[in-house]
């Protein structure tokens, strides 16, 4: 399909090191040093973050941020820990957006469209507005994976939603009130549980455990005294030689 | 390459046994969500039938939902986004015409295109939102008209390997294939002949019955099952009164409503099949690949056909 | 002309419905062909031609309270039958739209409906979500 403009921050617009930039956090203005990420700038401004912060590495999805720029009607998004501040940035974080998840028994479901519709009948309300895609900080094709969910194509949902970090921005803006990341999660789980290759070595290892191959070793460790444990730990093989 | 008359060309060879290129026609194809999941039989049988006739259905890449019925008010631009996206995608992938099978998708796309053509304000707004210069013109076709125009019913008749003689079929159009007549224009809304022509070419005894264009209850199956059952029963009894062996539909919702209404009271045991299933079967495709359900397979009496073919093979 | 005799409504629901549906409500002369062809007329509170009458006479309350727009399946038989070319299906759609925009609809599904919905053809569920719920 044709490409719509993805709204992501550009490196050129960031406030440079050594200069001060004025940013607005939930409507209040702060002058902060350039070169900081949004997260660091909020902490510089005096915020102590206990929600809306996590791995600080762009992976957990806790610090989803929505911002606007002066003179620009568009909504921009990014992860606070990964996005550099810009002069005039007008931001807020979305640490949590309600998206209740139904309880399901994965093994009792079959990997088809019926399973998705049963727990998320709102999938069919999707209007193909593409707001979810525009607002995804990971640049995923969110609308397309919801479309694949409607078609019952679990493999494609799993492929397209793989890098989803469940930040909730799509959920917050969807006019059809869909909770995209829960649907992606169910589809990936169904695909993994029913429709993809099974790990043979995992099965073998589980059989070994059930047969008691590791019982003796575990028992010995449990009975060992502190000195023995310390010795075992310091003398452990970290990487095989050669 | 020797140019042969159409009749011979369709069979893939001439009298001397030379291999002749089948006249290939490439059509953009939009299956719709159902044909990918619940109504796979409709999709598979249509593809096989078309392949057999030298028509290639090229599925659109990355397609999304058609929007599920146009908003029939003049200011609901949001509802136009979904069909507009499909048409844009078709155009971007180089198709000026798009073939659909599901009556819902066909009706939605055709009516949306019609509306957008006649409402410049809506067109402008939708184009602006979708961040494109203009919305392109893409012709939306139904497979029935594509078969009539690209293959021709005469050529289909000549390509039939299993004439469905003695099968009494009731061609059921429902509402979305034909109405509103001035926007859809597929066929006469009260006395259509398209499916009759196709089924007749397959050798069937086409039965005329009163409820050919009645509504099956449509989306009332979701919210008001009593109303849906009432609509469906009228159609089932009408077909049974005309002594039809099959109801032949083109819409997954019609097929579902008519089938579902037979469970419980008012059971007429009427199989509801899709027209491409009969078409593909008549053209020689293997029955087990065409998704006939138990009732359909029984009514078709597949074992009788299998026995006939076995006899033919043994005699040759 | 006295107000009582004038059927033209300058404002109100009739005007809104006429604008949304792009139909001339006053072209209807109550022949009843639409009702005769409607497959669900028997389960409606007020038959289709009666709804148009309510709108023509400015009986807004009756038009808005009726369950007729929700019983309508959008099969367009009425529009095909009308000798004056009034598209009654669009009038019904306009009434549904007016009510939905006022957050007034008979069907509001929850996750509990998921069991039934998961068995149905997606097209029907999509259409139902568009037409009878917000």
When the pLDDT of each residue in chain A is averaged and rounded to a whole number, the result is 90
Provide φ and ψ at B275, rounded to 5°. -60, -35
Beta-strand pair A20-25/A28-33? antiparallel
Rounded Cα distance between B18 and B12, Å, is 9
- With CB atoms and an 8 Å threshold, state whether A113 touches C122: yes
At A225-237, the pLDDT tens digits run 999 999 999 998 8
Domains of chain B: 25-143 (1.20.1050.140), 162-315 (3.40.50.11810)
B81 Cβ contact partners less than 8 Å away, ≥ 6 residues apart: A127, A128, A129, A130, B67, B126, B129, B130
- With CB atoms and an 8 Å threshold, state whether C127 touches B79: no
DSSP 3-state of A190:
helix
Residues of B in contact with C117 (CB under 8 A): 222
- Ordered per-residue pLDDT tens for chain B, 316 residues: 333 334 333 344 444 444 434 445 788 999 999 998 889 999 999 999 999 998 889 999 999 999 888 888 888 899 999 999 999 999 999 998 999 999 999 999 999 999 999 999 999 999 999 999 999 999 999 999 999 988 899 999 999 998 888 889 999 999 999 999 999 989 998 899 999 999 999 999 999 999 999 999 999 999 888 889 999 999 999 999 999 998 999 999 999 999 998 886 556 688 999 999 999 999 998 888 888 887 887 777 766 666 666 766 676 5
Nearest neighbour of C75 by CB, restricted to B218, B221, B226: B218
At B170-181, the pLDDT tens digits run 999 999 999 999
Q: What is the DSSP letter of B56?
A: E
- With CB atoms and an 8 Å threshold, state whether A143 touches B89: no
| Minimal-distance CA residue of chain B relative to A123 | B65
DSSP 3-state of B249:
strand
DSSP string spanning C78-118? HHHH-TT---HHHHHHHHHHHHHHTT--S----GGGHHHHT
Can you tell me which residue has the tokens 């107000």? C3
User: In CATH, which superfamily holds the domain spanning C2-106?
Assistant: Alpha-helical ferredoxin (1.10.1060.10)
Nearest C-alpha neighbor of B60 from the set B23, B21, B99: B99
Residues of B in contact with A150 (CB under 8 A): 33, 65
- With CB atoms and an 8 Å threshold, state whether A1 touches B64: yes
Asked if B81 and B129 touch (Cβ cutoff 8 Å), the reply is yes
- With CB atoms and an 8 Å threshold, state whether C114 touches A118: yes
pLDDT recorded at residue A10: 58
| Minimal-distance CA residue of chain C relative to B255 | C121
Structure tokens, B68:
């599920």
pLDDT recorded at residue B128: 93
Nearest neighbour of B131 by CB, restricted to A5, A128, A153: A5
At A99-120, the pLDDT tens digits run 988 999 998 999 999 999 999 9
- Ordered per-residue pLDDT tens for chain A, 242 residues: 344 444 455 566 788 888 899 999 999 999 999 999 999 999 999 999 999 999 999 889 999 999 999 889 889 999 999 999 999 999 999 888 899 889 999 989 999 999 999 999 889 999 999 999 999 999 999 999 999 999 999 999 999 999 999 999 999 999 999 999 999 999 999 999 988 888 899 999 999 999 999 999 999 999 999 999 999 999 988 887 76
B106 Cβ contact partners less than 8 Å away, ≥ 6 residues apart: B100, B140, B142, B176, B177
- Mean pLDDT for each 10-residue chunk of chain C (134 residues)? 50 85 92 94 92 90 91 91 93 93 83 85 89 82
């Amino acid at each position: 399909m044709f490409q719509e403009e993805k709204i992501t921050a550009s490196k050129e617009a960031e406030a440079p090191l050594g200069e001060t930039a004025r940013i607005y956090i939930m409507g209040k203005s702060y002058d902060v040093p350039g070169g900081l990420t949004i997260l660091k700038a909020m902490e510089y401004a005096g915020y102590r973050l206990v929600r809306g912060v996590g791995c600080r590495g762009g992976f957990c999805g806790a610090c989803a941020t929505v911002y606007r720029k002066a003179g620009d009607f568009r909504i921009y998004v990014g992860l606070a820990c990964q996005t550099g501040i810009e002069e005039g940035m007008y931001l807020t974080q979305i640490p949590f957006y309600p998206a209740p998840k139904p309880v399901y028994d994965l093994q009792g479901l079959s990997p088809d469209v019926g399973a998705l519709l049963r727990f998320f009948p709102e999938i069919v309300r999707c209007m193909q507005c593409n707001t979810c895609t525009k607002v995804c900080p990971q640049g995923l094709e969110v609308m397309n994976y919801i479309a694949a969910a409607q078609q019952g194509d679990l493999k494609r949902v799993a492929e397209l939603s793989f890098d989803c970090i469940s930040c909730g921005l799509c959920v917050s803006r969807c006019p059809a009130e869909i909770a995209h990341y829960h649907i992606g999660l169910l589809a990936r789980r169904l695909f993994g549980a029913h429709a993809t290759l099974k790990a043979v070595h995992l099965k073998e290892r589980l059989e070994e455990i059930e047969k008691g191959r590791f019982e003796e070793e575990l028992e010995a460790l449990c009975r060992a005294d502190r000195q023995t444990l310390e010795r075992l730990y310091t003398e452990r093989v970290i990487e095989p030689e050669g | 390459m020797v140019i042969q008359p159409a009749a011979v060309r369709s069979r893939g060879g001439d009298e001397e046994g030379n291999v002749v290129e089948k006249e290939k026609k490439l059509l953009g194809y939009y299956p719709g969500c159902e044909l990918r999941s619940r109504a796979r039989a409709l999709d598979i049988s249509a593809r096989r039938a078309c392949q057999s006739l030298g028509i290639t259905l090229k599925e659109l890449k990355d397609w999304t939902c058609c929007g599920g019925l146009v908003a029939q008010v003049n200011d609901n631009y949001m509802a136009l986004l979904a069909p507009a996206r499909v048409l844009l995608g078709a155009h971007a992938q180089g198709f000026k015409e798009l073939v659909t099978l599901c009556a819902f998708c066909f009706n939605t796309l055709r009516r949306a295109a019609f509306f957008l053509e006649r409402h410049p304000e809506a067109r402008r707004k939708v184009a602006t939102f979708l961040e494109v210069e203009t919305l392109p013109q893409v012709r939306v076709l139904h497979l029935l008209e594509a078969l009539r125009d690209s293959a021709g019913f005469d050529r289909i008749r000549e390509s039939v390997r299993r004439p469905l003689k003695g099968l009494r079929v009731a061609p059921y159009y429902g509402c979305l294939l034909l109405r509103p007549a001035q926007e859809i224009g597929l066929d006469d809304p009260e006395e259509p002949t398209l499916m009759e022509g196709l089924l007749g070419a397959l050798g069937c005894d086409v039965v005329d019955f009163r409820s050919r264009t009645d509504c099956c209850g449509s989306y009332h199956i979701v919210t008001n099952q009593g109303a849906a059952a009432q609509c469906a029963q009228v159609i089932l009894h009408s077909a049974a009164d005309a002594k039809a062996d099959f109801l032949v539909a083109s819409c997954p919702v019609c097929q579902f409503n008519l089938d579902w209404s037979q469970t419980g009271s008012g059971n007429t045991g009427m199989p509801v099949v899709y027209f491409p299933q009969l078409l593909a079967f008549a053209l020689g495709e293997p029955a087990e690949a065409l998704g006939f359900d138990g009732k359909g397979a029984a009514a078709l009496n597949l074992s009788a056909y299998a026995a006939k073919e076995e006899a033919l093979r043994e005699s040759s | 002309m006295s107000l009582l005799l004038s059927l033209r409504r300058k404002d109100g629901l009739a005007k809104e419905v006429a604008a949304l549906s792009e139909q001339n409500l006053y072209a209807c002369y109550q022949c009843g062909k639409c009702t005769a062809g409607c497959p669900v007329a028997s389960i409606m509170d007020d038959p289709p031609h009666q709804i148009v009458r309510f709108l023509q006479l400015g009986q807004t309350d009756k038009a808005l309270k009726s369950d007729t727009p929700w019983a309508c399946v959008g099969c367009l038989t009425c529009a095909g039958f009308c000798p004056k070319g009034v598209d009654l299906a669009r009038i019904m759609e306009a009434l549904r739209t007016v009510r939905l925009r006022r957050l007034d609809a008979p069907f509001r599904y929850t996750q509990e409906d998921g069991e039934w919905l998961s068995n149905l053809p997606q097209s029907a569920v999509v259409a139902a979500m568009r037409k009878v719920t917000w």
